Amino acid sequence: MPWTLIKAILFFIILALLAWVAAALSSAQGGIRIAMMGKEITLAPLQAVIASVVAVFGLWLMARIIGLVLAIGRFFAGDDTALSRYFSSNRERRGLNALSEAMIALASGENRVAMARAEKAQRLLDRPELTSLIEAEAAQAAGDSARAEAAYRRLLSDDRARFVAVRGLLKLKLEAGDTETALKLAEKALALKPRHNEMQDLLLQLQTGAEDWHGARATLSAKLKAGALPKDVWKRRDALFALQEAKVLLDGESSIEAREAAIAANKASPDLIPAAAMAARSYIAEGKSKLAQRVLKTAWEAQPHPELAAAFAEIEPSESPQARLRRFEVLTDIHPDHEETRMLLAELNIAAEDFPTARRALGDLVTTRPVVRVLTIMAAIERGMGADDAVVRGWLARALSAPRGLQWVCGSCNSIHAAWVPVCPHCGGFDTLSWSEAPDAGTASPTGTEMLPLIVGSPTPAAPVVEPTEAAEPETAPAPPEAEAETGAEDEPEPVKPAASPFVSTEPVTPEELARRGAF
């Protein structure tokens, strides 16, 4: 409010001064006389002032016209002028509007519209890192791989967008199934940004798929340096890769390098069962039985496993069953109540033909853990103890529908593997296999027990028992004493032989009876 009043007062003061000056000039005597080309013009003081103002305005207008003409000339000559800046600003404004429309169309899923707006923005703007990127993303979303690849290749010339271009080409190659080229592009992208976590994981996945274990270990070390992986996880996974590298070297008959890699893998992760078994076999090949025994004992303390027992048996392959049973006490004394230890003891006693001890070693596993291996061991024990074939077949028939027990099971897809692998071939999961029991691992027959009579059969029946009967008196004359003696001898029942097994009776055994007795 005060400032408005001040401006009004100043306006009136200036207006009054101009009126005073005009009045003074009108009343002033004299003037300005101009003589030019034989003519003379006399101007009063007020007229002279007005003429001076008009002359100054005319000179200014002429200067502006001359500047405009010169600017037009420079514009057509290609120089940077106000006129060129005006057209450039207008062009940039329309290009930014087209770019905004392209981004909105891409976000809303209108890929064709986004590509058209990106092309318009490309014509109006000199910003390929923006327009080509949007065009490539829209083309890839629309399924136009050729156009997307061309747009990504244009981005390769820009240092700022080179990583984005390589990453986009990598995705296109993965969609096309070209994993070999994708692996090279992933290595190039990681070289551009070594600490990029997503690219590290993708490169690691491609290297494991291509079985490039040496490169995978290098990538894993890069993840550790970038702080994207805990050290304990890195140690285990590095041991897995070292183990696979040892297997590759072993297949290539590089025995010394393979043994060194296997031993290094076991040192990195002593509880890794495949690494411990391979390291033990490497020590055995070098004649270092004590080191092999120490490695297997350490792994057995972490988790008893049949592969460790197999490797332990290879330390002395030509020993007698009794000597092997004594030597295995190093392992069996560690976890005596573990089911793997009990099954191992049963198998060792079967090899030593000590079947009662083998049965005692199994204990209650037949009822608490009736898996295939336990039932098969039980069939072998029954065979060794002289049971009937029907009893043995009964245990084997029961094993047909029993759970498989502990196996290598993928924690992601629950697929079962005969041997340990670092990468599940079904789901591609890395380090997902564990020694556990698979869900729904039973193999029950859809026909139930209808096929068991064909599998079990019937045991050999015992000799029939002849019941004594009273001889009827014939109507004729009595027989001679010699004939009576012979008849009495024939009527005496023969003694029944005792059964060789509690599952065998004097009557034919049905499958239902064998099932009641526990054979299946």
Shortest CA distance to 118 belongs to which of 105, 100, 99? 99
268-282 pLDDT, tens digit per residue, is: 666 678 878 888 888
Q: What share of the chain has pLDDT > 70, as a percent?
A: 74
Max avg pLDDT among 23-27, 183-187, 220-224, 454-458: 183-187
Report the number of distinct structural domains present in the chain: 2
Q: Span 288-315, mean pLDDT?
A: 89
196-232 pLDDT, tens digit per residue, is: 888 988 998 888 888 888 888 888 888 888 888 888 8
Non-local CB neighbours of 312 within 8 Å, separated by 6+ positions: 280, 293, 296, 328, 331
Domain of residue 112, residue span: 99-181
Instruction: For the chain, give the number of residues.
Output: 520
How high is the pLDDT of residue 266? 62
Instruction: Judge whether residue 52 has pLDDT over 70.
Output: yes
**Is residue 11 one of the residues assigned to a domain?**
no
Instruction: Judge whether residue 468 has pLDDT over 70.
Output: no
The more confidently predicted of residues 153 and 267 is: 153
Q: What share of the chain has pLDDT > 90, as a percent?
A: 18
d(CA 510, CA 73): 115
Question: What band does 303 get if pLDDT is binned at 50, 70 and 90?
Answer: confident
User: Both tokens of residue 150?
Assistant: 């061309």
How high is the pLDDT of residue 256? 57
Domain C-terminal end among 270, 295, 320: 295
Q: Span 9-21, mean pLDDT?
A: 83
How high is the pLDDT of residue 314? 92
**Is residue 141 one of the residues assigned to a domain?**
yes
Compute CA distances 460 → 392, 452, 500, whole Å. Answer: 13, 17, 11
The more confidently predicted of residues 498 and 305 is: 305
**Is residue 205 one of the residues assigned to a domain?**
no
CB count in 10 Å sphere of residue 15 = 10
**Is residue 73 one of the residues assigned to a domain?**
no
370-393 pLDDT, tens digit per residue, is: 999 999 999 999 999 988 888 898
Domain C-terminal end among 255, 270, 295: 295
User: 236 and 169, same structural domain?
Assistant: no
Shortest CA distance to 89 belongs to which of 76, 80, 79, 100? 80
How high is the pLDDT of residue 328? 93
Q: Span 307-330, mean pLDDT?
A: 91
How high is the pLDDT of residue 184? 92
Least confident of 171-180, 238-247, 289-298: 238-247
Shortest CA distance to 294 belongs to which of 323, 261, 270? 270
Question: What band does 81 get if pLDDT is binned at 50, 70 and 90?
Answer: low
User: Both tokens of residue 450?
Assistant: 């209808």
How high is the pLDDT of residue 429? 79
In one-letter notation, the amino acid at residue 344 is L
**Is residue 352 one of the residues assigned to a domain?**
no
Instruction: Judge whether residue 177 has pLDDT over 70.
Output: yes
